[in-house]
């Protein structure tokens, strides 16, 4: 790892470089890519939950004026690699979940394509489906590992014995709902297949990683990666759902290959995003806490039950944060999965940590209640000296500082712990706290190129900016690494024509790409010195960080919520939500605040509103649009603040920065639920915190 | 989306004739619901007849009350000083609905004719008696949080989504209609139907009949009125339950009341039983609760895979009590 970079531009509050074009509508997103005479692809989705297509009558659809082709399992191109069943589109008649792609139409206009798709008549053999997740199922299984490669189960000491002997215990089950990422920009691709020179595929795709998408698409179609170019200048949000290519990308490419030379546009509808673009599994979390009367935990355990799809496993690492969060000699974490006839779950902002800090952080609040101890103090009392999972010291760990700073800002000190005693007019008011955590990661490989011409430095790297601010922050890193002003640096991202970069995932983007840029800048200065000639150029790649062998690395935070519950109607409001985070050097306060506030808002949304409701008779998400799948509206978000402490960590990367894209959503829901209990005395253990639940009218 | 014809006739009579002569024709006003249905395949008209410039867009004084042109936009109606002063329940109901953008488009005539937001109705891949008579009701036994507790049938448990319509039902409004056979006036409370065995029919309007205005009678007690909407987020959500109420109170006694309920039935639910129970009752929570219980005596909860909607019955009671309590104690 390169030595620490001296911050001059890093840490400055700079406006987004892509902001003006975005607010003026000049930024072109994937579906808007200017191409000549595009065709439009519309999807036909399965209306059964499991079985097979027995017949497709596309005659009426094909006869519509403007229809160019109808793609079906019978006629579609055979893919070179169908190992990833989610991506093996139109390769067999099998139907694995309701909403799966069974055919597609290509037409001259979007309207004709959709009308034709509606006219494709599909008959099925219905084998019956099973989409019910329950911890009581007798077919739960143990995955080999959980995302992205953690051990499935961990055991240390004897939790049962500790539970049997401890003076105070909590044993409760908590549930989180099914959630859909729902970025504002739907999953969209413009694709073109050119046959000249052995064939070349261009994908203008909304993705969190152009190079990972290229690799997947090349594999699926049996192409050399150099035959595929993926371009993505802007992303209208992803939240993990554009971190891996979903079926829409493969279908767009397949459709383009069916009409060589003609561009094809494929954008999922909002409703289709609820079946085809990933989601977060619902979770059932059985928690056990055992403690001494002084609050010190003697045991902590979480047993998780969640779902995956029968055709492809995704095991959310819900139990993992419990492994490192608090000290306790006896520990257990387990994951069991039900493989169901459901769409394929995948990454959604802070997989693992987000759902996995709900149960534990509410259970801790219940423990504080039983102990008669302040919940901030209880957390401080269980602060571990080293990472309880690995025994390594933390490179930096400032959870306690976040709790204290948050308590100070929030005005926690005079809190009366008794629930249900504060009334402001018609509203019962309470406050709650929860901790946040997110691991500090970097991907193994990424490369950047620095070029000097005409007095300016241009850095190229196939990175992504999904609204995170990387278009703005990477120039700050490059400027400091080169020792020049940020105004003299351009950074070009989002194109496989640039050097290869990792996915924007795991809050690792800035750390990984920034490290590559630092290496490239170092190589550039080594080669050309401070006065480079025009067209001077050098590359550098992220190097292994030996400090990861010695230290555990995570960002931490604390969130404080004030909740008001209407005494008559049970309506829940969150007048205040404060977060304080310790995430190393904050490279740009403006874009960082946006990330943290955005995460907390999404956490608030999870606490109060979000849930994908599956009808087991049909097997689909019933509330599959943004009118019925509620996310927080502006009126739900009041005084919401993100702060951070000044954390210096020389071990994580040359910038000293920890990832901040995901930690904001972690712990929020628990803080809100804990505050609602403090307001009303009603403990809700199932999300979302709806008014009927807080009134005790629905179990 | 299916190709369709579009016409913008010269006047309302021509528009009525144009729709009446084609069974697959529909009127287009603000389009805030119909255009969604075109995209979803829920509505498949062959002809749209645009009436936005053909119906009155003024609010005029009429016999001590107001006549609201069918083309008056929801945003303008909510902002009208006469409405805000004399019928605050209506202004509040309008502002509790939709979003600013939608209220700028939605019209007085169109709003009451918006269709249920039942998710199964809006998804052409699931059976629905309202969308396709005889195909069955998918909502029964499904996700029922937003569904009816009053007046539902074995064929349909959908609710009417409008907030404005709940206020109009409470205010004894009347609907002026122009049809192929001429004019008629319909009490607003009779405009919408219960589903019975014909849930495909939301209203008593015949094909080709066009709402031209909605009249509000003089109702002095409506100066003390309110709309209380309870929903799953602070804004931009349909009502779980809602209450439109106007009261005339003096000396600790309710002399008269107008009450309608939303989010609970296939139509805006005029609460005559509650009104009867309130007349002459004391201004106490007990009286209000008794009125709510009288109205809800026949309420039937829907079980559902989402936990069902049994909570709506106590929630509506609590909401009605709170609304009446606030109104009765309001400064006159």
Residue pLDDT, tens place only, A594-631: 999 999 999 999 999 999 999 999 999 999 999 999 99
φ and ψ of B6, to 5 deg: -130, 135
Question: For residue A221, what is the domain's CATH number?
Answer: 3.30.365.10
Percent of chain A with pLDDT over 90: 99
CA distance A45 to chain B (A): 9
What's the whole-number average pLDDT of chain A?
97
Beta strand extents in chain B (DSSP E only): 5-7, 25-28, 47-50, 59-62, 65-69, 174-179, 182-187, 210-216, 225-230, 241-250, 253-262, 269-270
Whether residues A691 and B319 touch (CB distance < 8 A) is answered with: no
- Distance CA(A669)–CA(A672), nearest Å, equals 5
For residue A445, give the nearest of A549, A547, A525, A519 by alpha carbon: A519
Residue B332 has what pLDDT? Answer: 52
- Whether complex ipTM tops 0.95: yes
Contacting B with CB below 8 Å, chain A residues are 45, 47, 111, 114-115, 118, 271, 426, 568-571, 573, 608-609, 613-618, 620, 622-625, 627-628, 630, 632-636, 690-692, 695, 697-699
- Among residues A544, A573, A603, which one ends one of the domains? A544
Examine residue A26 and state whether it is found in any structural domain, yes or no: no
Please check the confidence at residue A378 and state whether its pLDDT lies above 80: yes
Please give the average per-residue pLDDT across A121-137, as a whole number. 98
Residue B255 has what pLDDT? Answer: 97
Residue B2 has what pLDDT? Answer: 82
Whether residues A615 and B236 touch (CB distance < 8 A) is answered with: no
Q: Are A328 and A161 in contact (CB under 8 A)?
A: no
Task: Give which of B116, B138, B232 to mutate to test A binding, by max A Cβ within 10 Å.
Answer: B232
Examine residue A452 and state whether it is found in any structural domain, yes or no: yes
Residue B331 has what pLDDT? Answer: 58
Q: Give B 218-257 residues with CB within 8 A of chain A.
A: 230, 232-238, 240
Pairs from B246-250 (Cβ < 8 Å, separation ≥ 24) = B246/B89, B246/B170, B246/B171, B246/B219, B246/B221, B246/B222, B246/B327, B247/B221, B247/B278, B247/B324, B247/B327, B247/B328, B248/B220, B248/B221, B248/B224, B249/B224, B249/B283, B249/B327, B249/B328
Please give the average per-residue pLDDT across A366-387, as a whole number. 98
Out of B235, B306, B321, name the one closest to residue A634 (CB).
B235
Residue pLDDT, tens place only, B227-252: 999 999 999 999 999 999 999 999 99
Structural domain that includes position A164: 145-179+280-440+550-694
Whether residues A624 and B123 touch (CB distance < 8 A) is answered with: yes
Please give the average per-residue pLDDT across B212-234, as a whole number. 98
Residues A117 and A149 occupy one common structural domain? no
Residues A561 and A659 occupy one common structural domain? yes
Residue A699 has what pLDDT? Answer: 61
Is A377 considered catalytic here?
Answer: no
Residues A202 and A319 occupy one common structural domain? no
Q: Are A502 and A210 in contact (CB under 8 A)?
A: no
Task: Indicate the number of domains in chain B.
Answer: 2
- Distance CA(A246)–CA(A239), nearest Å, equals 14
Structural domain that includes position B36: 5-49
Residue A44 has what pLDDT? Answer: 98
pLDDT band at B3 (very low <50, low <70, confident <90, very high): confident
- Look at residue A467 and give its three-state secondary structure: coil
Task: Give which of A99, A564, A627, A631 to mutate to test B binding, by max B Cβ within 10 Å.
Answer: A627
Residues A396 and A540 occupy one common structural domain? no
Residue pLDDT, tens place only, A213-263: 999 999 999 999 999 999 999 999 999 999 999 999 999 999 999 999 999
Whether residues A618 and B138 touch (CB distance < 8 A) is answered with: yes
Whether residues A695 and B123 touch (CB distance < 8 A) is answered with: no
Question: For residue B304, what is the domain's CATH number?
Answer: 3.30.390.50
Please give the average per-residue pLDDT across A427-443, as a whole number. 98
CA distance A454 to chain B (A): 48
- Distance CA(A66)–CA(A151), nearest Å, equals 53
- Look at residue B314 and give its three-state secondary structure: helix
Residue A480 has what pLDDT? Answer: 98
Task: Indicate the number of domains in chain A.
Answer: 3
Residues A460 and A508 occupy one common structural domain? yes
Please give the average per-residue pLDDT across B83-96, as a whole number. 98
CB-CB neighbors (< 8 A) of A577 in chain B: none
Please give the average per-residue pLDDT across A365-383, as a whole number. 98
- Among residues A241, A276, A311, which one ends one of the domains? A276
Percent of chain A with pLDDT over 70: 100
Residue A343 has what pLDDT? Answer: 98
- Among residues A247, A276, A305, which one ends one of the domains? A276
Whether residues B311 and A695 touch (CB distance < 8 A) is answered with: yes
Residue A698 has what pLDDT? Answer: 77
For residue A685, give the nearest of A292, A170, A334 by alpha carbon: A170
Examine residue A318 and state whether it is found in any structural domain, yes or no: yes
Residues A297 and A269 occupy one common structural domain? no
What's the whole-number average pLDDT of chain B?
97
Residues A167 and A199 occupy one common structural domain? no
8-state DSSP, B203: B
Residue B10 has what pLDDT? Answer: 96
Residue pLDDT, tens place only, A168-216: 999 999 999 999 999 999 999 999 999 998 999 999 999 999 999 999 9
Query: Going by C-beta distance under 8 Å and a sequence separation of 6 or more, which residues neighbour residue A400?
Result: A380, A383
């Amino acid at each position: 790892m390169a030595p620490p970079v001296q911050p001059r531009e890093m840490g400055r509050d700079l406006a987004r470089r892509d902001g003006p074009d975005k607010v003026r509508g000049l930024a072109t997103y994937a579906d808007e890519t200017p191409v000549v005479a595009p065709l439009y692809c519309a999807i036909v989705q399965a209306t059964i939950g499991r079985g097979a297509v027995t017949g497709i009558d596309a005659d009426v659809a094909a006869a519509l004026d403007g229809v160019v082709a109808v793609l079906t399992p019978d006629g579609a191109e055979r893919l070179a690699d169908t190992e990833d069943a989610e991506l093996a589109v139109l390769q067999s008649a099998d139907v694995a979940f309701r909403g799966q792609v069974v055919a597609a139409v290509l037409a001259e206009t979007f309207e004709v394509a959709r009308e034709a798709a509606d006219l494709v008549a599909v008959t099925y053999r219905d084998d019956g489906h099973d989409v019910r997740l329950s911890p009581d199922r007798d077919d739960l299984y143990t995955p080999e590992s959980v995302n992205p490669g953690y051990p499935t189960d961990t055991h240390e000491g004897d939790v049962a014995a500790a539970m049997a002997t401890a003076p105070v215990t909590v044993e409760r089950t908590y549930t989180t709902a099914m959630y859909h990422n729902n970025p504002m920009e739907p999953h969209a691709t413009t694709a073109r297949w050119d046959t000249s020179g052995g064939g070349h595929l261009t994908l203008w795709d909304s993705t969190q990683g152009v190079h990972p998408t290229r690799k997947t698409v090349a594999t699926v179609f049996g192409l050399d990666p150099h035959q595929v170019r993926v371009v993505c200048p802007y992303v209208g949000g992803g939240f993990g759902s554009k971190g891996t290519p979903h079926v829409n990308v493969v279908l767009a490419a397949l459709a383009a290959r069916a009409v060589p030379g003609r561009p094809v546009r494929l954008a999922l509808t909002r409703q289709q995003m609820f079946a085809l673009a990933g989601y977060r599994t619902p979770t059932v979390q059985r928690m056990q806490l055992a403690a001494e009367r002084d609050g010190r935990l003697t045991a902590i355990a979480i047993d998780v039950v969640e779902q995956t799809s029968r055709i492809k496993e995704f095991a959310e690492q819900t139990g993992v944060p419990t492994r490192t969060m608090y000290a306790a000699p006896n520990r257990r974490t387990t994951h069991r999965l039900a493989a169901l006839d459901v769409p394929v779950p995948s990454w959604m902002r802070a997989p693992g940590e987000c759902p996995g800090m709900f149960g534990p952080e509410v259970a801790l609040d219940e423990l504080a209640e039983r102990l008669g101890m302040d919940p901030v103090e209880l957390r401080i009392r269980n602060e571990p000296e080293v990472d309880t999972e690995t025994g390594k010291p933390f490179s930096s760990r400032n959870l306690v500082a976040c709790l204290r700073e948050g308590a100070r800002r929030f005005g926690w000190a005079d809190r009366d712990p008794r629930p249900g005693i504060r009334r402001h007019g018609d509203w019962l008011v309470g406050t709650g706290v929860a901790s946040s955590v997110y691991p500090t990661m970097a991907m193994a490989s990424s490369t950047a190129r620095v070029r000097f011409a005409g007095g300016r430095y241009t850095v190229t790297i196939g990175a992504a900016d999904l609204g995170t601010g990387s278009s703005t922050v990477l120039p700050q890193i490059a400027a400091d690494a080169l020792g020049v002003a940020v105004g003299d640096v351009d950074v070009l991202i989002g194109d496989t024509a640039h050097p290869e970069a990792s996915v924007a995932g795991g809050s690792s983007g800035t750390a990984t790409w920034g490290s590559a840029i630092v290496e490239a800048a170092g190589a550039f200065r080594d080669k050309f010195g401070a006065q480079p000639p025009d067209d001077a150029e050098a590359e550098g790649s992220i190097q292994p960080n030996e400090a990861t062998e010695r230290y555990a690395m995570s960002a931490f935070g604390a969130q404080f919520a004030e909740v008001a519950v209407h005494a008559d109607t049970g309506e829940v409001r969150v007048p205040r939500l404060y977060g304080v985070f310790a995430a190393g050097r904050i490279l740009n306060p403006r874009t960082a605040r946006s990330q943290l506030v955005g995460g907390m808002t999404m956490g608030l949304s999870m606490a109060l509103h979000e849930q994908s409701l599956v009808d087991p008779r049909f097997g689909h998400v019933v509330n599959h649009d943004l009118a019925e799948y509620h996310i927080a509206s502006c009126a739900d978000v009041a005084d919401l603040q993100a702060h951070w402490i000044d954390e210096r960590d020389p071990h994580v990367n040359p910038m000293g920065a920890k990832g901040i894209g995901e930690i904001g959503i972690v712990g929020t829901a628990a803080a809100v639920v804990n505050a609602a209990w403090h307001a009303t005395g009603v403990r809700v253990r199932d999300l979302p915190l709806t008014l009927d639940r807080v009134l005790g009218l629905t179990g | 989306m299916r190709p369709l014809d579009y016409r913008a006739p010269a006047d309302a009579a021509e528009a009525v004739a144009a729709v009446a002569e084609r069974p697959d024709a529909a009127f287009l006003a603000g389009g805030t619901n119909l255009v969604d249905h075109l995209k979803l395949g829920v509505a498949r008209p062959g002809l749209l007849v645009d009436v936005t410039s053909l119906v009155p867009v003024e609010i005029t004084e009429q016999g001590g009350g107001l006549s609201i042109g069918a083309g008056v936009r929801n945003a303008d109606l909510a902002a009208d000083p006469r409405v805000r002063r004399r019928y605050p329940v209506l202004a509040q109901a309008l502002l509790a609905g939709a979003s600013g953008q939608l209220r700028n488009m939605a019209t007085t005539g169109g709003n009451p004719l918006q269709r249920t937001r039942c998710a199964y109705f809006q998804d052409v891949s699931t059976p629905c008696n309202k969308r396709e008579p005889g195909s069955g009701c998918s909502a029964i036994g499904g996700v029922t949080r937003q569904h009816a507790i009053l007046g539902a049938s074995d064929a349909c448990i959908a609710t009417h989504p409008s907030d404005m319509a709940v206020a109009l039902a409470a205010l004894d409004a009347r609907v002026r209609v122009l049809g192929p056979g001429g004019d008629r006036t319909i009490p607003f409370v009779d405009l919408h139907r219960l589903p019975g065995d014909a849930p495909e029919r939301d209203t008593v309007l015949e094909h080709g009949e066009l709402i031209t205005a909605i009249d509000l009678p003089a109702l002095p007690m409506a100066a003390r009125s309110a709309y209380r909407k309870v929903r799953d987020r602070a804004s931009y959500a349909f009502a779980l339950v809602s209450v439109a109420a106007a009261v005339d109170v003096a000396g600790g006694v309710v002399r008269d009341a107008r009450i309608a309920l939303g989010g609970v039935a296939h139509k805006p639910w005029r609460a005559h039983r509650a009104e009867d129970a309130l007349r002459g009752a004391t201004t106490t929570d007990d009286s209000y609760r008794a009125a709510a219980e009288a109205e809800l005596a026949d309420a039937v909860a829907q079980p559902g895979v989402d936990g069902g909607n049994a909570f709506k019955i106590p929630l509506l009671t609590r909401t009605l009590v709170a609304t009446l309590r606030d109104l009765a104690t309001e400064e006159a």
